[in-house]
Structure 1
Amino acid sequence: MADTFYALPDGFLLGAASSSWQTEGWAGKKEGHDTYIDIWYRATPELWHDCYGPKNATDFYHRYEEDIRLMGQCGLDAYRTSIDWSRFIGDYETGQVDPEGAAFYDRVIDGMIARGVTPMICLEHFDVPGELFRTYGGWGNRHVVDLYVKYARTVFERYGDRVKQFFTFNEPIVVQTRTILDGLRYPFHQDTRLAMQWSYHKILATALAVREYRKLALGGKVGVVINIEYAYPRSDAPHDQKAAHMYDLFYNRMFLDPAVKGEIPAELMEILRSEDCMFEYREEELELIKDGVCDNVGLNLYFPMRVKARESAWNPELPFHPCRYFEPFDLPGKRMNPHRGWEIYPKIMYDMAMRMKTEYGNVEWLVSENGMGVEGEGSFRDASGMICDDYRIEYIAEHLAWLLKAVDEGSNCKGYMLWAFTDCVSPLNAFKNRYGLVEIDLEDHLARHIKKSGLWFRTTRENNGFVFRDLKTEYR
């Protein structure tokens, strides 16, 4: 198979991402600065790999200058991270900043800009403040939306002159899906209606934050980062097609439609009403959502979701759950990442990119996360000790090639962000699976070492493209 040079379009960003709680650690935090993630870890540290959690993370709090230097050495145009709401805000009711917490983010943002790395800042990455989780129940309470909007405005006012890309949430569906809808994580609760209320309040909070940002006329953009699980049906049969449609409705369109089109899908709301799981809302809030569509969106794309029509009857004693309408389909022969347990299907980049073009008005968007987690990377070292992660280079190149094909065909994608810049803590997995361009050496005081993929990333940026094999038509 022949090789092709895949050119990066002019202005196309090549960057990487992480979050505050997965990198900073607890250094510099005061009493009351804990987050939902911290509460979860303290309650069940034994469920995290090797009991390693957010307490130390990568110690970015102390080592941000070193990491920013490494960003330059890896050729990053941009770095997406988050602000820890609990570290940044001293008074949740007024939105007044904590001087020391805010000063830390001042240094980080200014340091990135000085090194030529564009900062992209997310306002919430799973880490609602612990005080708001304990006092109000987190995003189930409408008052938390109002407190979030004050926080968002404070961030915009402080950094809007330097940061030109904000995101309201990263993967806003995840926490309530894992903890309240499925009961898989602390506090192991199951309440479908409450999970839907969390989702609605995050949709509303995004729209209100967008409106606040526009009032300030800061000249940048604000969006939301959505984890897309592109749903492919088992077959062309109507029952399988419907299963994929329903999965897409609950897990993708619930956030993507209001962010881009300004509307929560009417079909979704009707199903929730019929199942007695409808969230509480006010009609005027729906108008605010319509008026608060995002400037652009980030899409996290890792793996496809393959579904089929249910083959067993729904247990009538169970409360409603979206999986009443579908169940997973295990596609024989699929490519797998055996470490993470996820299918590798790079064509999701092309398929989602073209969907953004045809179904979502070709709105501006970027791949805000994509990456490959691998266990035991220390066994892939060369004679110098560098991790030679050729499997990651292959993964990035193939996904990026499919994305660039879609861009060449007119999809309005403006960049690709790898998860992650450095190895970092992941929920429950901690450092079990490594994702970074840069190794975090747990055996050597968290020392940083660039991997082979980091050198490839830099070369790709320097050459404005990369050489990779011609793409072949893949299975669906």
Structure 2
Amino acid sequence: MNTNIMKIPDHFILGAAASAWQTEGWSGKKDTQDSYLDLWYKNNQHVWHNGYGPAVATDFYNHYQEDIDLMKEIGLTHYRTSINWSRFLVDYENVVVDEEYASYMDNVINTQIEAGVEPMICLEHYELPAVLFETYGGWGSKRVVDLFVQYAEKVFERYGDRVKYWFTFNEPIVIQTRVYLDAIRYPFEQNTKKWMQWNFNKALTTAKVVRLFKQKQYKEKYGAKIGVILNPEVTYARSTAKHDIEAARIYDLFYNRVFLDPSIKGEYPEELFELMEKHDISFDATKEELQVIKENTVDYVGLNLYFPHRVKARTNAWDERTPFHPAFYYEMFELPGRKMNPFRGWEIYPQIMFDMAMRMKEEYGNIEWFIAENGMGVENEFNYKNENGMIQDDYRIEFISNHLKSLLHAVEQGSNCIGYMLWAFTDNVSPMNAFKNRYGLVEINLEQDRNRIMKKSAYWYRNLIKERELQIKKDIFK
């Protein structure tokens, strides 16, 4: 088999990611500190695979020293997680810090730094406090926007001298898309206008937190920067026909540019305003708020990329009795012969890395960015254990290799990509899927007190980081 070698730039990040709610568990959590995810789990537990959810998760709260030791052993340059907003405070209205949880985060950050693993901290990874969801309607409220900015200030004051990489949100479009647009998650309310208001309020929040960050001069004092982690859906039209191209363009407008443009360019596409007005889903925004967005764009962005999204023009008439949904303009399309991850039901198409990288270069001013998540979820991984009990996840090694190859080609072409973060460091809980599909370099053994066991991919990733050379074999996912 022919093997080529790609050199990985010296300062290119090779890390891994997770979140607070997907790892910590509820140890030490007060009864009043539920997040939206905790609320959903308590009210709708039967939809979570085998009943697993955030209650124990990977128990990182009690295992963080062990996990950070493993990060050091693997050689991760960076590790991204979140601070759980719902747990960081005991009083959300008066912004009173929970010293027990804040001290835990102090220990996590300090232990990472001592291990040579740079902390990357996100302020919200779906961890909206449940009481703010129930009292104000969550991100539909400008009051929640203001409370989040006050929370961010407390976090910066506590950890700003040590953390250099900050983010406001991870995937800010996801929760409201699942709840208010597609109505497939608790509390199952279809309300497209509310969906759009959540979108705007989160973009406004990012801008307000960026403004605060600049006012506090964290970049000048500590060399820190702040951004947002988005999950653009790399979109391909079924064909070159005008109606398919138009369907893909509008899909991109509603799901990608709705966050990419305000975060990076400081403004929304004019056509988005026109479509919102046409379909009576306009968000409430003042001129002053739009100006805040214009003046406070992010320093950099993280992008979560997993699989392509393929669309075509509608072939069936839209049922006018149903509320407006962007699918008014498109239908999803399955490419014949596509390569699949059969466990997750997602197409495998490494080209998304290169194509998105070129888009960042050509459409978004070649802003600094990195892959914040990319990975392969596989069910029943115990079937791939060898006689020593180690998971032989060659499929994950191939998946990472091919996606990283595509990404590094884009770096060679001048895209300002500074790194790659694998999802995930360890297996962890996902919404509804729980531990069904495993993503980690490190196995979490649920039957043995959540013991950690490195998979074959962990040793491969360690060598990749050490040697900074990617061996390119024949693509099995091309």
The alignment's TM-score, normalised by the length of structure 2, stands at: 0.98
Q: Encode CA deviations 1:274-324: one digit per residue, 9 max, x unaligned.
A: 111101111110000011100000000000000000001111111111010
Q: Which amino acid aligns with 1:66?
A: E
Mapping of 1:202-351 within 5 angstroms? 202-219=202-219, 220-351=224-355
> Identity across aligned pairs (percent)?
58
Contact between 1:4 and 1:470, CA under 8 Å: does it hold in 2?
Answer: no
Specify the alignment match of 2:389 in structure 1.
Answer: 385
Contact between 1:387 and 1:451, CA under 8 Å: does it hold in 2?
Answer: yes
Specify the alignment match of 2:153 in structure 1.
Answer: 153
2:466 is aligned with 1:465:
no
Distance of 1:393 and 1:230 partners within structure 2: 23
Specify the alignment match of 1:7 in structure 2.
Answer: 7
Specify the alignment match of 1:113 in structure 2.
Answer: 113
The Cα of 1:459 is off from its aligned counterpart by 0.1
The Cα of 1:74 is off from its aligned counterpart by 1.5
Q: Encode CA deviations 1:248-276: one digit per residue, 9 max, x unaligned.
A: 11111100111110012211111001111
SS in 2 for 1:254: helix
Alignment counterpart, residue 361 of structure 2, candidates 357, 362, 367: 357
Contact between 1:402 and 1:471, CA under 8 Å: does it hold in 2?
Answer: no
Q: Which amino acid aligns with 2:390?
A: M
Specify the alignment match of 1:425 in structure 2.
Answer: 429
Distance of 2:284 and 2:181 partners within structure 1: 17
Count how many residue pairs are aligned between Structure 1 and Structure 2.
Answer: 474
Q: Structure 2 stretches of 5 or more lacking a match?
A: none
Distance of 2:196 and 2:259 partners within structure 1: 11
Distance of 1:68 and 1:23 partners within structure 2: 13
Q: Encode CA deviations 1:332-390: one digit per residue, 9 max, x unaligned.
A: 00000000000000010000001100111100000000000000100101121110100
Contact between 1:253 and 1:265, CA under 8 Å: does it hold in 2?
Answer: yes
Distance of 2:368 and 2:26 partners within structure 1: 36
The Cα of 1:2 is off from its aligned counterpart by 2.8
Distance of 1:472 and 1:339 partners within structure 2: 17
Q: Encode CA deviations 1:412-444: one digit per residue, 9 max, x unaligned.
A: 000000000000000000000000000000111
2:431 is aligned with 1:442:
no
The Cα of 1:464 is off from its aligned counterpart by 1.0
Contact between 2:402 and 2:477, CA under 8 Å: does it hold in 1?
Answer: no
RMSD: 1.1
2:427 is aligned with 1:413:
no
SS in 1 for 2:255: helix
Specify the alignment match of 1:31 in structure 2.
Answer: 31
Distance of 2:412 and 2:263 partners within structure 1: 25
2:190 is aligned with 1:201:
no
Specify the alignment match of 2:124 in structure 1.
Answer: 124
Distance of 1:116 and 1:472 partners within structure 2: 34
The Cα of 1:31 is off from its aligned counterpart by 2.2
Distance of 2:32 and 2:351 partners within structure 1: 45
Compare 260-269 and 299-308 and name the one that shifted more.
260-269
Q: Which amino acid aligns with 1:412?
A: N
SS in 1 for 2:421: strand
Specify the alignment match of 2:144 in structure 1.
Answer: 144
Q: 1:412 to 1:44 in 2, by over 3 A?
A: same
Q: Which amino acid aligns with 2:409?
A: K
2:99 is aligned with 1:90:
no
The Cα of 1:228 is off from its aligned counterpart by 1.4
Distance of 1:339 and 1:204 partners within structure 2: 37
Specify the alignment match of 1:455 in structure 2.
Answer: 459
SS in 1 for 2:218: coil
Distance of 1:330 and 1:28 partners within structure 2: 46
Distance of 2:257 and 2:347 partners within structure 1: 22
Distance of 1:259 and 1:281 partners within structure 2: 16
Q: Encode CA deviations 1:52-105: one digit per residue, 9 max, x unaligned.
A: 110000000000000000111122100000000011112212323111111110
The alignment's TM-score, normalised by the length of structure 1, stands at: 0.98
Alignment counterpart, residue 366 of structure 1, candidates 341, 366, 370: 370
Q: Structure 1 stretches of 5 or more lacking a match?
A: none
Distance of 1:90 and 1:41 partners within structure 2: 21
**Structure 1 residue ranges, 4+ long, deviating more than 6 angstroms after superposition:** 470-473
Distance of 1:9 and 1:214 partners within structure 2: 30
SS in 2 for 1:311: coil
The Cα of 1:216 is off from its aligned counterpart by 1.1
Contact between 2:203 and 2:259, CA under 8 Å: does it hold in 1?
Answer: yes
SS in 1 for 2:390: coil
Q: Which amino acid aligns with 1:180?
A: Y
Distance of 2:88 and 2:7 partners within structure 1: 40
Contact between 1:153 and 1:212, CA under 8 Å: does it hold in 2?
Answer: yes
SS in 2 for 1:281: coil
SS in 1 for 2:387: coil
2:58 is aligned with 1:58:
yes
Q: Encode CA deviations 1:150-191: one digit per residue, 9 max, x unaligned.
A: 011111121111000111000000000000111000000001
The Cα of 1:10 is off from its aligned counterpart by 2.0
Alignment counterpart, residue 402 of structure 2, candidates 398, 402, 405: 398
2:40 is aligned with 1:40:
yes
Contact between 2:398 and 2:476, CA under 8 Å: does it hold in 1?
Answer: no
Distance of 2:6 and 2:129 partners within structure 1: 43
